[in-house]
Each structure stands twice: as structure tokens, then as C-alpha cells.
Structure 1
């Protein structure tokens, strides 16, 4: 058995058992290719349909070292819920957990599996809806982020849930990129920003994912979601807390955080 498969098995077992992994379960991957190999094994072991993908940022100077400024991980169908009524979202109590305010892009047409380079307009043309939402980032391993992007990728990109809020009306004019976005935990604002300040924005995240899928050989399908990146940042959250995100003047969503239980 190879090291990549052993690491994948350890993460999948910890997620199913809802228990922590204080130490990384093996030798951490040094490259994104190695990390995505672990992720590929883990997706197969998990055995559930992929209903979306989270996209996150790789900050300097690691973006130069690793050859990418974003990363991706699967979102499984059972982890996607509607924002109304406000849901209770599970996280790994002995691991890492965060709430992130994000724009969620729904894929409307299958990207060309041979095309590895997309303009923002080409990426936007493959999207048929934009919603507001939360990504709930959580991993059994507390060091999932401090270990660096390759560690993050290796455990499903640190995803454990997606809260889908209302559709953004008139999103094709892209004015939502200028909206003020804020996120609060237990009523205290912990972050605010605008989507236009995130690299090349949500459609840049889609372009990245379409390119990655072609290079790695995984299939993207209409109806799948793209969680396009944490607008206000990655905000750590604990069991028993709640979060509210405000998007512009018209959209507000909330969720509470509970402890994951063994499957």
C-alpha cells in the first residue's frame, strides 16, 4: 500500500468516526500533485457523489513555490444544505473549524475536458446561477491550515459543508463584486471585504477549477456548485457558536455550529 492511500484512509476513518487527528497521518505531501493524489484516493474511499468543489487561495510566497494561487477540494452531496431555515452545521470538535462567507457559483454547462486555460468571460459563460452562502471548513486535523496548502488539499481541501443561500438577482452584470460583505460570530463582526478584492474574483475561481479539472482528469457536471473563496477571510469557529453573513444590502444568512458525530 502506498503512502498516499494510507494517508487517505486515515483521514476518511477520522471523518467517519468524527474523531481528531492531532498529528498528520503520514509524511505531508511536498507538492500539489502529491496532495491531489491523496485527495483522489480519499474521494474514492468516501464513496459519495461530489456535488460541488470548494476553491481556496494559496497566499504568497507559497503560490510561487507550488505553482498555483488557488486550491480545490470536493463537497459531497450530503454536506450541502439550504440556508432557510438557518441550519446547524457539524464540525470536528477535536480538529479545525471555520465559517467563510462566499459566493456560490452553479455550473450550467460541462466544461471542455481538454481545455486548460479560461478567460473570466469564458468561465462566467459556463455558470447559470450565483448564490450567497457559507462554506463550513473543518478537518479532523487541527493543523490542516498551518501545515500549508498541500496538507489542506490532502483532506478534501478542508471542506465539511456548504450552506446555499438565495440567488443573487441580476448577477450577470457582476455588480455584486463590489458589495460590502461582512461575517459575524456570536454577533461580533470578525471580517469585512469585497469580492472584487479576491485575486480575480469568483469567476477567476471558476476558471481555475475548470482548468484544474482538465489537467487532473476529473469531471465537472451541470448542477455542481463552486464555493468560490472566503471573501472576508477564514474565521475559526467553535461548537456552540453561530455565524451570520451579510452580502450587500439585501442578503443575510445564518447558521449554528454543532459537533459532528460518527457515521
Structure 2
């Protein structure tokens, strides 16, 4: 759907707040009530922003809201200049919006190869993936209530994304039991979350399949090399500048970052 002038104004307000790192006490306009409205705002913001998109985050819609919003997931862009490769063990500084909302999430990251125009299902979507890594998604918005008003509001501001840390690769992922892989998350060395991907609906490949279908419906191309941040595994862990985040996959693969303002 084409954005209305009011939806374009909301997109510009979020862009201005992000650029100035200024908190938004209130949502800058009428809150979207459905995902079509949310994506109209998001698409406008992407166009006004002008930066290339290097990937997409996928977030889960709460079970009690699935019927209302007609699906289980939302998507938001991850800009190429906010994707940091830390596969060598580096600990990058990842900025968030002080005074807004900020969180970090342990996620598996899938990289698309040549998606093409074929139709996929949950089994064949693996053919579209050419690499899988461990990682941390940085979720942040100038609007502190970004996650308190339902998935449409979250989706409207880039899906509440502010960056992605690419950790080490998962070797032989084609044969690995990703769903059963244990994952832990720590902030300042304290373990605050632990889970497996069994909690993720139909898992990371389900997220990839959703994204292909969702982006095609929006008329958005998926070039080779596009990343998919497949969804929070251990939870959405609120965090603040000065803290350290670390995700541990399979008891041996670590990826870390330092949160800055």
C-alpha cells in the first residue's frame, strides 16, 4: 500500500530522531493498527533514508495477537553500514538510542544465496541459504514504547532494529541439528537467558521462508548476500550503554559486543 502523507510524516519523524539520537516521548502520529499500515511507514522510511539494506530482522508476534494481525512474524530492515563482522573474535561497539528502547538478542543469521523466482517450502528454503552464522541483533528505537503497543508499531520503526553482529560460522549447518543447539546469553558476564531454537515456531528456516514471501509481497528484491536475523532465541534482553553482551552457542561458539550510546 502507498503511504499517506501522515504515514510519510511518521517515517520522517523517526528518521530525524534516529539521526539526532533524540528520544521520542510519544509516537509521532497515529499508531498503525495493522501491518499494511506499518509497512507503508517502514517502506517510506527506507526510501527517505537512502542507505542500502544488507539484511532483515524477523520478529515474532505474540500468540494472543496472531489472529488480529494475520500472521506470526514481522520484518524490519538492517542497513549494510550497521552490520559488523566479528567472526574473528573482535568485540565491536554497537550504539543504541539512550532514552529510547534498547535490547540485545542471541540469534542465528542466515545468508541468502540466489533466491531467484522459484517457490519454496520449509524443506526447500534451505536451498536458498549459502551460509549460517551465530550473532547478536541490536534492537533499539528512539521511541521507548516501541514494543508496548503491538507488532504494527514495532514494525513501523525499522522493526526496532539498530544493527547486527556477525559471529563465527556454524560449520556443516546442513547436517547440524540447529533446533536442539543450546544457546545462552550474558550481560556483563551474568547469564540472563538460555534456550534452544525449539521455542522459535518452525525455527530459523521458517523465518527465512516467511521473509522471502513477505518481501515478494512488498515488491522488495532479495539480492545474494542478504542476511536474515532469524529471531530471538533466549529472549529480548534490555540493555544500556556501557554494558557488554555475549551469546554462547553450542557451549563453544562465542560472539560479543559492547553497547554504546
TM-score, normalization by structure 1: 0.95
How many Å separate the matches in 1 of 2:10 and 2:245?
32
In structure 2, the partner of 1:155 is 157
Deviation track 1:25-76 (CA, whole Å, cap 9, x = no partner) reads 0000001000000000000011100000000100121111100100000000
> Cα deviations across residues 113-135 of structure 1 (Å, max 9, x unaligned)?
x84xx311121110000000000
Kept after mapping to 2: 8 A contact 1:243/1:255: yes
Misfit runs of 4+, over 4 Å: none
Counterparts of 1:227-246 in structure 2, within 5 Å, are 227-246=229-248
Q: For the residues of structure 2 that align with 1:35 and 1:197, how far apart are their CA atoms?
A: 26
- Report the counterpart of residue 95 of structure 2 in structure 1: 90
Give the match's secondary structure for 1:120.
coil
TM-score by length of 2: 0.96
Greater displacement, 191-200 / 42-51: 191-200
Q: Deviations over 1:146-184 (max 9, x none)?
A: 111000100000000000011100101141221110101
Structural RMSD (CA) = 1.1
Kept in 1, the 8 Å contact 2:183–2:251? The answer is no
**For the Cα contact (< 8 Å) 2:147–2:154, is it kept in 1?**
yes
Q: Structure 1 regions of 5+ residues with no counterpart?
A: none
Matched, 1:28 2:31: yes
The answer on 1:102 being equivalent to 2:107 is yes
Asked whether the equivalents of residues 57 and 228 of structure 2 are also in contact (C-alpha less than 8 Å), the reply is yes
How big is the shift at 1:7?
0.3
The answer to whether the 8 A contact 2:25-2:143 is kept is yes
Q: Is the 8 A contact 1:111 1:210 kept in 2?
A: no
- The secondary structure found in structure 1 opposite 2:242 is coil
1:171 aligns with one of 173, 180, 187: 173
Structure 2 gap ranges (5+): none
Number of residues of Structure 1 aligned to a counterpart in Structure 2: 256
Q: Are the counterparts in 1 of residues 25 and 144 from structure 2 also a CA contact under 8 Å? A: yes
Task: Give distance in 1, aligned partners of 2:115 and 2:132.
Answer: 17
CA positional deviation for 1:250: 2.3
2:57 is matched with which residue? Answer: 54
Alpha-carbon offset, residue 216 of structure 1? 1.1
Which residue number in structure 2 is paired with residue 17 of structure 1? 20
Aligned mates of 1:177, 1:168 — CA distance in 2: 13
- 1:257 maps to what in 2? 259
> In 1, distance between residues paired with 2:177 and 2:245?
25
Cα contact 2:133–2:166 (8 A) shared by 1: yes
Q: Distance in 2 between matches of 1:49 and 1:241?
A: 29
Which residue in 2 is equivalent to 1:203?
205
Tell which deviates more after alignment, 246-255 or 93-102: 246-255
Secondary structure of the corresponding residue to residue 233 of structure 1: coil
